[in-house]
Amino acid sequence: MGKCKEKDKAYRQGRKKPGGKECEMAEKKRMANMELLRMAAMVMVVAMHFLAKSGNLPVVGEALTPQRTIGALIEAFCLVAVNVYVLISGFFGLKGSFRVSKAISFLCQIWFYSLLIPLFLGGLKAFGILDAALFIEKAGVIYGLSQYLLPIETEHYWFATSYFLLLLLSPVLKAGAKRLSKRQFQILLGGLLLFFSVIKSICPVPLSFDRYGYDLPWFICLYLTGLYLGKYGWKSLEKSRKKGFLLYALCCFPGYLINLGMWALAGKIDGAAYYFTVPYHYNFILCLLGAVGLFYGFYGIGIREGRGAELCRQMGGLCFGVYLLHEHIDLRDQWYGWLQTLLGTGGKEGAGVFAGEFLASICLLFGAGILIDYLRKKLFAAVSNSLSQSGISHRIRKLDEVMAEKEEDH
What digits encode the pLDDT tens for the residues 202-228? 999 999 999 999 999 999 999 999 999
Q: What is the pLDDT of residue 409?
A: 58
Judged against a pLDDT cut of 70, whether residue 310 lies above it is answered with yes
Domain limits, the chain: 2-409
* pTM metric for this prediction: 0.91
Q: What is the pLDDT of residue 15?
A: 35
71-103, pLDDT tens digit by residue?
A: 999 999 999 999 999 999 999 999 888 999 999
Q: Stretch 337-361: mean pLDDT, rounded?
A: 93
Share of the chain above pLDDT 90, in %: 81
What is the SS3 string spanning the chain? Answer: CHHHHHHHHHHHCCCCCCCHHHHHHHHHHHHHHHHHHHHHHHHHHHHHHHHHHHCCCCCCCCCCCHHHHHHHHHHHHHCCHHHHHHHHHHHCHHHCCCCHHHHHHHHHHHHHHHHHHHHHHHHHHHCCCCCCCCHHHHHCHHHHHHHHHCCCCCCCCHHHHHHHHHHHHHHHHHHHHHHCCHHHHHHHHHHHHHHHHHHHHHCCCCCCCCCCCCCHHHHHHHHHHHHHHHHHCCHHHHCCHHHHHHHHHHHHHHHHHHHHHHHHHCCCCCCHHHHCCHHHCCCCHHHHHHHHHHHHHHHCCCCCCCHHHHHHHHHHCCHHHHHHHHCCCCCCCCHHHHHHHHHCCCCCCCHHHHHHHHHHHHHHHHHHHHHHHHHHHHHHHHHHHHCCCCHHHHHHHHHHHHHHHHHHHC
> Average pLDDT, whole number, for the chain?
91
Which pLDDT belongs to residue 240?
Answer: 87
Residue 263: the pLDDT is 94
Choice between 8 and 264, residue whose per-residue pLDDT is larger: 264
User: Looking at the predicted structure, is the pLDDT value of residue 20 above 90?
Assistant: no
pLDDT classification of 2: cutoffs 50, 70, 90? very low
pLDDT above 50 for 192: yes
Q: What is the mean pLDDT of residues 13-33?
A: 49
